Amino acid sequence: MSDILDKVIGITDRLNNQLIWRFARTRRPIRTDRPIVSFTFDDVPDTAWTNGAAILEKYGARGTFYIAGGLEGRIEPDRRLISADGCRDLFTRGHEIGCHTFSHRKVASLSNGSFASDLDRNGAFLTQAGISRRPTNFAFPYNAASPRLRPVLRKRYATCRAAGEAINRDSVDPWMLKAVEIRQPEDHALGLTRWIDDLAVNPGWLIFFTHDITSAPTPYGCRPETLERLVSHAIESQCDILPICEALNRFGWKEARP
């Protein structure tokens, strides 16, 4: 029974995302002669902080880390989530801290009021952690959006990121950016260099997202050498690697709403 329910919920999530991608009228142009790549990390496992951030920095780049305060320090069977100190460390090293809700629940399961409260709670968590810059970019837990909640998000964030397995090109909806997942198996993750090759020929904005970066990754992460291969390939392909907030400046978008 729960399998059937999961399938129905999965179909509903996909339908919600497709409705937004198909019908959203809030489009903004991606003006760039340069191929832009953003590396983003969701949740965030502590290995994205210890290994992932260091790999980006080795190439002079920075990433965007979408934090869900409710996961702080949580120990799961196959990963440990970042601490508040870890969040502050990322921030002081020049990485962007984005919002991933506090509760890490699917947003469609929340009322408008409880969703807004949840976002406030995450903002308070990040302030408490010592992050002085209000998060201006958001990623959907489970990449599952909700047309109903778009007004709440548009008031607070410059962008929202889902999945979608595509490069953002021409004009896009800022509150439903597409991204390509770096995940297992490792061969698949290594093969993602093809997206960078595509981008180098036809510039746009390629956003990667992943989770843990460790020698024994969960299905939703990759090994450090694989992330490094993607980062170095982007550099060799003359891509600019930018956190989300800096990519927006490059496109001339208004970075944060008042």
Least distance from C-beta 94 to Zn ion, angstroms?
Answer: 23
* DSSP output for 161-174: EEEESS-B-SEE-G
Q: Count CB atoms within 10 A of the CB of residue 115.
A: 21
Q: Which is closer to Zn ion, CB of 141 or CB of 204?
A: 141
CA distance 110 to 121: 14
Query: Which stretch of DSSP H or E encloses residue 217?
Result: none
Tokens in use for 12? 């509903």
Closest CA relative to residue 47, chosen from 78, 76, 81: 81
C-beta neighbour count of 230 within 10 angstroms:
23
Q: Which is nearer to Zn ion, 43 or 96 (CB)?
A: 43
Closer CB to Zn ion, 78 or 225, in the complex: 78
Q: Pick the closer one to Zn ion by CB: 17 or 239.
A: 17
Residue 217: CB minimum distance to Zn ion, A = 15
Taking the least distance from each CB to Zn ion, the nearer of 42 and 181 is: 42
Minimum Å gap between C-beta 65 and Zn ion is 11
Phi, psi of 34, deg, nearest 5? -105, 145
> In angstroms, what is the minimal distance from the CB of 100 to Zn ion?
6
Shortest reach from residue 164's CB to Zn ion, in Å: 15
Residues that bind Zn ion (CB under 5 A): 42-43, 141
C-beta of 66 vs 91, nearer to Zn ion: 66
- DSSP letter for each residue of 82-106: PPHHHHHHHHHTT-EEEE--SS---
Nearest alpha carbon to residue 64 among 136, 118, 154: 136
Q: Which two tokens stand for residue 43?
A: 């949740």
Taking CB atoms, the residue at the shortest distance from Zn ion is 42
